[in-house]
């Protein structure tokens, strides 16, 4: 596993080289590592795909070194293997002794095969995209601002002024929350209402839209435009923010054809910070012990749970689940990005093979996308946010007859999973 609390395997890193006379190419291990072709961690699905789904409000600009943008560089339409083979071909065509490296940044660890959202929208820019202008410093006011009405937790009514925007990047707190303060690297779920200042057109938000869900992303992680990525830091969960984003804090000179945003348009957001979650957070609450025929679970706080198997118990043939802590949030739907902590052990002897808590980093995956083992997809979908769930996963819904690191072939697995949050959006 990796980034999330679990992660189901990545694709292999081999490919056919073009035939070349008297020439052998050695791809350095460093190149494989930089391109993201490290060996898989544990709860990864061996059949998982490698292409990431597009993200709502993903940045479409190239990162400018030392700028405030913090964008992720991700060559659109090119897989990691393509990056490696492209470098090898360049070596052959240009000259011996010349090595080209193209680094694909990911922005986080990867516990499952990958982790990203299921909503259609622009993704990160190809490598030949124009450079993003420096993001202006954030201010809390400007001479001309939209007016906003409505309460936190409801769709905002935004009234645009007749004047043109002046280019200031504004983050103004309309109402203060009392929840956890958002720090850089925290996971946040944010509901939003949005408009294009130039056209007056409303941009589809998370309120009242079909399948509308909050954005779930790491604050300051660079996966989304600065209007969302930078705006929430320093504010508490429960706060409502007015954000006026000039082009450099939005979609820049390119705009976004998918969202109907023109080149150089300024955007207006009203953001409701639903939740802020530290990477090492765990759940707490009243625990309902598992039945006698389930492995027993001892809570160790921010350390991996101790899971004791039932002696002599036969391996189950179907998925079994038990809710240890009942969450009060909404139910997880297929296609959502889920934030979890987890610990996994072998059913036969309780030997731990992975835990996100050992790394202090919660893990994300998208339900129903084949990113994790089938037992996770089936066992997490339909559970409530805020729940702690014990899953007993038969081999048929796990790694089947394949061995995976310290997991023998045909192994039944036991997981304790904290469902911390869910939504759509950045990686």
Confidence at 3, pLDDT banded by 50, 70, 90: very low
Q: What's the whole-number mean pLDDT along residues 410-425?
A: 95
pLDDT, tens digit, 9 for 90 and up, residues 124-171 = 333 344 456 899 999 999 999 999 999 999 999 999 999 999 999 999
Residue 2 has pLDDT above 60, yes or no: no
pLDDT, tens digit, 9 for 90 and up, residues 280-319 = 999 999 999 999 999 999 999 999 999 999 999 999 999 9
Greater pLDDT, 98 or 89 = 89
Q: What's the whole-number mean pLDDT along residues 13-29?
A: 43
Greater pLDDT, 243 or 9 = 243
User: Token digits for 163?
Assistant: 């004047």
Residue 94 has pLDDT above 50, yes or no: no
Q: Are 362 and 384 in contact (CB under 8 A)?
A: no
| Distance from C-alpha of 187 to C-alpha of 182, rounded to nearest angstrom | 8
Q: What is the pLDDT of residue 124?
A: 35
- Of 120, 125, 27, nearest to 71 by C-alpha is 125
Determine phi and psi for 303, rounding to 5 degrees: -105, 165
**Residue holding tokens 């984003």?**
245
DSSP secondary structure letters along 310-344 = PTTPPPPSS-EEEEEE---SPBP-TT-EEEEEEEE
- Of 91, 55, 85, nearest to 72 by C-alpha is 55
Q: What is the pLDDT of residue 234?
A: 97
In this prediction the pTM is 0.73
Average pLDDT over the chain reads: 78
Beta strands in 97-235 (DSSP E): 138-139, 147-149, 157-159, 169-175, 187-196, 202-203, 215-218
Residue 195 has pLDDT above 70, yes or no: yes
Confidence at 385, pLDDT banded by 50, 70, 90: very high
Q: What's the whole-number mean pLDDT along residues 238-242?
A: 98
Residue 229 has pLDDT above 90, yes or no: yes
pLDDT, tens digit, 9 for 90 and up, residues 44-87 = 554 554 334 335 566 554 333 322 222 233 333 334 444 444 44
Q: What is the pLDDT of residue 212?
A: 82
Confidence at 209, pLDDT banded by 50, 70, 90: confident
In this structure, of 45-59, 267-281, 337-351, the range with the lowest mean pLDDT score is: 45-59
Beta strands in 347-425 (DSSP E): 352-355, 363-366, 388-393, 413-423
Within 10 angstroms of residue 157's Cβ, the number of other Cβ atoms is 11
In this structure, of 17-26, 27-36, 238-247, 337-346, the range with the lowest mean pLDDT score is: 27-36
Contacts of 311 (CB under 8 A, 6+ apart): none
Give the DSSP H/E element, type plus range, for residue 367: none
| Distance from C-alpha of 347 to C-alpha of 310, rounded to nearest angstrom | 8
Q: What is the pLDDT of residue 47?
A: 54
Q: Are 215 and 424 in contact (CB under 8 A)?
A: yes
384 forms beta bridges with 331
Give the DSSP H/E element, type plus range, for residue 81: helix 80-94
């Amino acid at each position: 596993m990796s980034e999330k609390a679990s992660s189901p395997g990545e694709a292999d890193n081999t490919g056919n080289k073009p035939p070349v006379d008297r020439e052998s190419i050695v791809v350095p291990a460093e190149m494989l590592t930089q391109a993201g072709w490290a060996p898989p961690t544990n709860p990864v699905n061996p059949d998982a795909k490698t292409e990431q789904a597009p993200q709502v409000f993903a940045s479409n600009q190239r990162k400018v070194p030392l700028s405030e943008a913090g964008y992720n560089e991700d060559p659109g339409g090119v897989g990691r293997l393509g990056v490696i083979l492209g470098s090898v071909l360049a070596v052959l065509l240009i000259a011996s002794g010349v090595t080209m490296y193209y680094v694909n940044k990911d922005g986080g660890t990867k516990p499952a095969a990958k982790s990203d959202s299921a909503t259609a929208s622009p993704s990160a820019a190809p490598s030949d995209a124009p450079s993003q202008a420096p993001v202006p410093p954030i201010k809390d006011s400007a001479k001309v601002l939209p007016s906003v009405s409505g309460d936190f937790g409801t769709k905002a009514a935004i009234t645009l002024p007749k004047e043109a925007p002046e280019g200031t990047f504004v983050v103004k707190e309309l109402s203060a929350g009392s929840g956890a303060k958002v720090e850089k690297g925290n996971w946040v779920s944010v509901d939003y209402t949005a408009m294009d200042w130039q056209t007056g057109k409303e941009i589809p938000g998370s309120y009242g839209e079909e399948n509308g869900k909050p954005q779930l992303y790491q604050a300051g992680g660079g996966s989304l435009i600065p209007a969302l990525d930078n705006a929430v830091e320093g504010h508490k969960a429960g706060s409502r923010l007015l954000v006026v984003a000039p082009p450099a804090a939005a979609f820049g000179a390119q705009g976004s054809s998918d969202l109907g945003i023109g080149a150089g348009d300024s955007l207006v957001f009203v953001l409701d910070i639903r939740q802020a979650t530290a990477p090492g957070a765990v759940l707490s609450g009243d625990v309902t012990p598992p039945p006698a025929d389930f492995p027993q679970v001892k809570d160790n706080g921010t350390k991996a749970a101790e899971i004791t198997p039932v002696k002599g118990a036969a391996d189950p043939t179907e998925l079994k689940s038990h809710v240890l802590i009942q969450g009060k949030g909404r139910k997880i739907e297929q296609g959502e990005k889920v934030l979890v902590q987890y610990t996994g052990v072998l059913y036969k002897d309780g030997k731990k093979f992975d835990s996100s808590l050992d790394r202090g980093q919660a893990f994300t995956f998208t339900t129903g996308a084949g990113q994790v083992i089938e037992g996770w997809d089936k066992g997490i979908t339909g559970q409530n946010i805020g729940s702690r769930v014990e899953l007993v996963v038969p081999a048929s819904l796990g790694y089947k007859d394949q061995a995976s690191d310290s997991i023998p072939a045909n192994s039944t697995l036991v997981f304790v999973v904290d469902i911390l949050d869910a939504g759509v959006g950045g990686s």
